Amino acid sequence: MALHLAAAALLVLNAIALPTASPVRTAVAQDPSASGRTSVPVTAGQWHGHSQQKFQIDRHDAYVVVPAVAAAGKPWIWRTAWPDFHVEVDLELVRAGFHIGYLEVVDLLGSDACLDCMDQFYRQVRSQWGLAERMAIEPCSRGGLHAYRYAARHPERVACIYGDVPVMDFKSWPFAHASSKASDWPKVLAAYGFKTDAQAMAYGGNPLDQLAPIAKAKIPLRHVVSMDDLVVPPEQNTLAAQRRLRKLGWDLDVVAVANGNACEGHHFPMPEVYESVAFVRRHADVQPDGKDYFTLRDGLANCRHKFTNDKMGRVAFVGGSITHAGGWSDEVMRDLQQRFPATTFQFIAAGIPSVGSNGHAFRLPRDVLSHGPVDLVFLEAAVNDCTNMPGQTLLMLRAMEGVVGQLRATNPMTDIVQLHFAMGPHLDDYAAGRVPETIGVHERVAAHYGCCSLDLAAECAARIAGSQFTWASGFHSDVHPPAYGQLVYASSIARMLDAAFRLAGGAQAHAMPKKPLDPASYFAGRLGELAKAKLMVGFQLDASWHPATGATREGFAEVPALVATSPGATLTYSWKGTAIGLFLAAGPDTGVLEFRVDGGAFQAVDTYTPWSGALHLPWPLVLADGLKSGPHTLELRTTDRSPQRTALHIIHFLEN
């Protein structure tokens, strides 16, 4: 039998103070492009409801659209023409924290003078707005001329190219329309300095001729085209580029619609908007060390198959206050709805503030499994397990393995993503070159059961070390992320989903391990009934308990509770299983209790927590586990060991 001496653990917790900021948490963000360049004057404007900062570069109008919350590393997309046409992708990107750049040089049509001006723009926005070194570039129609020629000049600056019917050869457009009175062919002759049409026709510097450096740099490419486009025919532009790229050992992703609906097939409703957003985000998001922090293991093929084929999905979010508060989870719900627009989702919000895996393992049947088979679960407990159970690795393991084991035993098709959120001590551990204790335990469970996992604490540590933000500026030195931190989390989860959903493979049941990591894990965790308790003296069942003073948490006030206020109150509780505990409302008046199992020696546990002074918080407390499976009896009594704190408020019993 293992008895968890929570009193000793809480004494440790009471002595804990967040360590002083380590170097990794106080790194000062530096702009790697800052080189003494002076700022240009800007005037404020609006672009589709977003802040726009307008300026000029060598007498050419320019602007930067600034997102409400900039993504870490300040990724951006550079639109090269018609910035108010087909803005669907841009609007999603600016919502995701991307800046948008624009320089009005379309009449220079990709000439060397155009590229020189683009160089000035690039240096200015890098210096003045701190934008990322490598950007996505977005040519629309004639914007393909200068977008591709600029990428060929500076492939090291381009993360990817997303094109909307881009011109790849001025011999196709505008020369093919040169007989028209409105033709732009004279502009090509003027911009490039050609004396005759023949000289222009002999020119070898069109985008189609400039693909070798792009292929060598392996710049990801994606074009959206209309197959009946008579203005910029795909056969002479995008498809011609694709053929040449393939000879160079590279390729171009082509999204084709059969027919345009206006402007001789040149205009059409934009297809696959979300897929294009994901393409840009995947390649242009800024990772400090060029890697992601997720491990896919068995992947997410099962839920992808369910969402795609059954058009139904049940997704649960299980965690503490960071999950309860929404933010990142709201964005994940929106993300899934956009990825699978024909799917009807049921989202289960199962976050309870202050609760870690030792609470999740017992409340899972009520809060999640009672809704029916779950297809995808996002599970987090790294922060609360660290604060609530420091040093209790066995308890962390048994609790987290109990959650994962219950999910998989109930539905072997359930896909699980384990999230490790950031907090100061986690960052300090990573700065010192060690994996935080809690995350190490949770990763053992993830690896054993083939769960996806995403270490957001490690990612934040790397971003801070890479001077993308500081802990104080990005997270306000708190575990509860503000808008900036929520965006960091949501963006990283989106990248993980991108990668997982791209993996090949069909749906199949997850195989349970031959042996658990610990046979005493809480595979049968459940909430026990208060009515099963035998109240001997001093305890009473309050049908709608509420404390006289102090704040409460939803679900842990105005609910039935077994309440004692004086020392000497006693009860017994019988159950069948291997573990027993209490789910308390631990507030300013909660004291030291004594308990024993099956007539053994009494053990003392202080139920007061470091946060109980002003709050009756949900507090799961495992008293004993690792018992022989079978019937057992718990005896419980309040004491006056802390004379000012003699109460106890039991909301649930915890049985396994």
pLDDT for 569-587, tens place per residue?
A: 999 999 999 999 999 999 9
pLDDT of residue 8: 31
pLDDT of residue 260: 87
pTM exceeds 0.85? yes
CATH homologous superfamily of 524-655: Galactose-binding domain-like (2.60.120.260)
What is the C-alpha separation between 588 and 611, in angstroms, rounded?
A: 9
Distances (CA, A) of 310 to 191, 292, 315, 343, 417: 56, 31, 14, 8, 21
Query: Is pLDDT at 40 greater than 90 in this prediction?
Result: yes
Per-residue pLDDT tens over the stretch 174-214: 988 766 766 899 999 999 999 999 999 999 999 999 999 99
What is the C-alpha separation between 298 and 301, in angstroms, rounded?
A: 8
The H or E element spanning position 394 is: helix 393-410
Q: What percent of the chain has pLDDT over 90?
A: 89
pLDDT grade for 28, boundaries at 50, 70 and 90: very low
Which three-class secondary structure state does DSSP give residue 9?
A: helix
Q: Structure tokens of 515?
A: 């042996």
Q: Which of 1, 2, 14 is nearest to 592 (CA)?
A: 14
Query: Is pLDDT at 32 greater than 80 in this prediction?
Result: no
Residues 6+ apart with CB under 8 A from 94: 50, 65, 67, 100
In the predicted model, what is the mean pLDDT of residues 517-540?
97
Tokens 């307008």, residue?
Answer: 54
pLDDT of residue 132: 97
pLDDT of residue 504: 83
Where in the chain are the domains?
43-284, 294-502, 524-655
Which alpha helices (DSSP H) does 422-538 contain, by range?
Answer: 424-431, 437-449, 456-465, 471-475, 483-502
What is the C-alpha separation between 204 and 558, in angstroms, rounded?
A: 78
Which residues in 320-469 belong to E strands, given as ranges?
344-351, 376-380, 415-420, 452-455
Classified by CATH at the fold level, domain 294-502 comes out as Rossmann fold (3.40.50)
Which residues in 188-277 belong to E strands, given as ranges?
221-226, 253-257
- Range 43-284 has CATH code 2.130.10.10: no
Q: Do domains 294-502 and 524-655 have the same CATH topology?
A: no
372 exposed, middle or buried (CB, 10 Å; 0-12, 13-18, 19+)?
exposed
Strands 615-625 and 580-586: antiparallel
Which residues in 306-389 belong to E strands, given as ranges?
312-319, 344-351, 376-380
Contact 50, 99 (CB under 8 A): no
Query: Is pLDDT at 444 greater than 50 in this prediction?
Result: yes
